Structure formats: C-alpha cells, structure tokens
Amino acid sequence: MCNRFTMLWRVGFLFLFVIFPNDTYQKLQRQSINLKFLELLPNHMTDQFLGSLFNSSLANVMKIADRFKFCTADKEALKFLVFRNDKMDPSELYLSSNDLDMRIPTKILIHGWYGTGDNEFIKRLANQYHKKGRYNVIGVDWSNHSKRDYVSSSCSTRDIGKVITEFILTLIGGDLRLLPNIHLIGHSLGAQVAAFAGKSMKSRTKRNIGRITGLDAAAPLFEFPFKVPKHLRLNAEDAEYVDGIHTNMGFFGFASAFGTSDFFVENGSPIQPGCNTNNFFEDLVCSHGRSVDLFLESITSKKLIGQECPNPFVFRIGLCSNRKRAVMGEEISKDVTGNYFLDTYDKPPYGKG
C-alpha cells in the first residue's frame, strides 16, 4: 500500500507541475496543499495521521487550528544539558557555574514533539561534533512540555524560545559580538522553538543569532491546515542564516520553503527511500526523522549535494543540471540561497556526491 502511495504522490505531484509548473510552485510556497491531498487518501491513512496529532478527524482540524493560541510555559521546567567531549552522558548546565568558552562555535540542539534533551538524536549529533573539532554542544530539554498532546506542545513553543534567548544572553555575558557563534539546530517542533528564540533575540537586542537549521520543521498548526504569518513560524529573518532540510513534505514537515536556503530531499517526498513498509504512519515518522540522519552525516561528509532548481518537476526531468550545486547541512556555505533538490540512497551513507 505504502509503495503505491509513494508512487501516486510523486506522479500526482509532478503532474501538477506539467500543467501549471510556475503557478503550482508559487502557490505551494504560499500555502499548504495538505487538506486537498488528505481528502484524496484512503480514510484509514487520513485518520491515522490526524488522529496521532489532533485526536480528530479531517473535518475538525480547521476548527482546532482556528482556535489555536500560544500559551505560557513553565520556565523552571526547562533544562539545559551540556555534552562534554570526555563524557558519554550530559550534565545539567548551571549558569552560576558556567565554564564554557563562548568564543568557539556553540551548537544548541532542540528536540521535537515527545523528545528529550538527551535523546538519541541529540546524543548522536553531540558525539559527531566532538569528533569533528572543538565545540560547545548544549541540548535543550523541554520534555515537560513536548510530551503533551500535540496542540499543547505546540502552544508552548513561543515561550520556550524566549527562555532560550534569556539563556543565550546570560551564557555570552551580554556580549552580542558572540552571537555569530551561536547555531540553533531544531528538529520538527524544535525548529519552531528555535524560530521563536531567534525572533526574541532580535526583538530584545536588534541583533540576530548566527544560524538556525530547521530539520523538517513542524508543519501542523504552522503550515497545515493553513500557513500562518511568518512572525508565527520559522522564516529566513530569524537568524543571520536559516537553512531548512525537508524530508516529510506536507505531513509532519513543511512543504514550502522558509529559509535563506531550503533543501528538498527526494523532492521533499513524504516517504523517503528506505522508509517504505506496510505501515503508513511509521513511514511518515521514519521520513520525518531522516532529516536528522542526513544532517548527522553532513557533519563529517560533503556528499549530500543539492542542485539549485526552480521546482521539483524541472529538477526531475534534468533541466537544472548546469545550475549551481551546494553542499547541504553543517558545511553549507553562507552565500547559498534559494531552493535545492537532491536524491539520496536508502541507507547510510546517504550522500550520492
């Protein structure tokens, strides 16, 4: 079923570009296509996806989104965990005894829905950074809020972002010259948390954080069932440089571009290679997590290379082969802008070079 679904999605998606290549892509950049597409799916697939997020049917999702408001988060519930090079497990970072050298690059890793500050995603990234060189690596643990129902977790993202801003300002001792060293890396809802940290920093200091990387930034309630204004979600103005990696387009992850640069893996297909099983929901989760796997690989490899292209159809038929190529992930050049597309293998190493 899922293999047939993937093929149906790709054929249908590309068909739109055959008929209306420019209009379709511009529309996709403005709004989510989920509602209409979900209406075409078998009921059990739609119910499985929406039930996991909203405990609701397709008919009620718009009402939930219309009623959605940001809420107050318990600041005391947040923990910041430091991953040191000589230790396997992190320790809680207390600002009163902070001994980090903030003159070196600082990676702040933010988990998504139902994650924790020391989950495997964060541990693996921290380990790779310490293998690569000298970095401060900090995990944000907002699990007291992320382990709630999806709507409740989403509503706290703005306040969590503000707490991270306060943390960063204290960490750098108010020295704004150190902000370019700060790199926020957020997966799913964590990407939206990073966005609000960036917005809060800019509002308070008139300066930007150095970089935000959105790993398949969460779409539900931010782009789906309708796209919210950019001041309420991750966008290119939230840091000096914002890069996005899209691996579950239109379901858990954003369908449209939001960054200085955006990389659409397998055209941002909702199902990534190697994630084809007999369980639709598990395939979506696997594909959503693929963005983390790819970024992890990019820390030590430059073989994940995207091709600049105006839209997926033009890329797929090979009309962008002479356009600019760019390395995706950790080593991206800050002069890279626009939309890039790439194919990958179905297991690591994923990069095709």
Q: What is the pLDDT of residues 277-286, one digit of tens each?
A: 888 889 999 9
Instruction: Please report whether residue 3 resides in a domain.
Output: no
pLDDT above 70 (res 22): no
Query: In the predicted model, what is the mean pLDDT of residues 209-218?
Result: 99
pLDDT digits 0-9 by tens, 93-146: 988 888 999 999 999 999 999 999 999 989 999 999 999 999 999 999 999 999
Query: For the segment 313-349, what is each residue's pLDDT rounded down to a tens digit?
Result: 899 888 999 999 999 999 999 999 999 999 999 999 9
Number of domains in the chain: 1
284-299 pLDDT, tens digit per residue, is 999 999 999 999 999 9
Q: Specify whether 145 is catalytic.
A: no
Q: For residue 227, is it within any domain?
A: yes
Which entry of 156, 188, 261, 287 is annotated as an active-site residue?
A: 188
Average pLDDT rounded to a whole number, residues 273-277: 93
Residue 196 has pLDDT above 80, yes or no: yes
Upper half-sphere CA count for residue 350 (Cβ side, 13 Å): 26
Higher-scoring residue by pLDDT: 176, 89: 176
Return the closest-CA partner of residue 119 out of 87, 90, 148, 150.
90
Give the model's confidence band at 37: pLDDT under 50 very low, under 70 low, under 90 confident, else very high.
low
- pTM for this model (two decimals): 0.90
15, part of any domain: no
Give the CA radius of gyration of the chain: 19
Closest CA to 64 of 217, 221, 284: 221
Q: Angle, nearest 10°, between helix axes 189-205 and 157-171?
A: 50
Here the CATH number for the domain that contains residue 140 is: 3.40.50.1820
In this prediction, residues 35-45 reach a mean pLDDT of 62
- Report the chain's mean pLDDT, rounded to a whole number: 89
Residue 237 above 70 pLDDT? yes
Is 194 a member of any domain? yes
Concerning whether 288 is annotated as a catalytic residue, the answer is: yes
Cα gap 138→136, rounded to integer Å: 7
Structure tokens at 320: 């962008």
Residue 146 lies in a domain: yes
The range of the structural domain enclosing residue 43 comes to 31-95+107-342
**350 in any annotated domain:** no
pLDDT at 258 over 70: yes
The fraction of the chain above a pLDDT of 70, given in percent, is 87
- Does residue 130 form part of some domain? yes
CB 172 within 8 A of CB 164: no
Is 131 exposed, middle or buried, given 0-12, 13-18 or 19+ CB atoms closer than 10 A? exposed
- Of 200, 288, 291, 293, catalytic: 288
Q: Among the options 216, 238, 243, 293, which is catalytic? A: 216
Q: Residue 166: what pLDDT?
A: 97
Contact 252, 292 (CB under 8 A): no
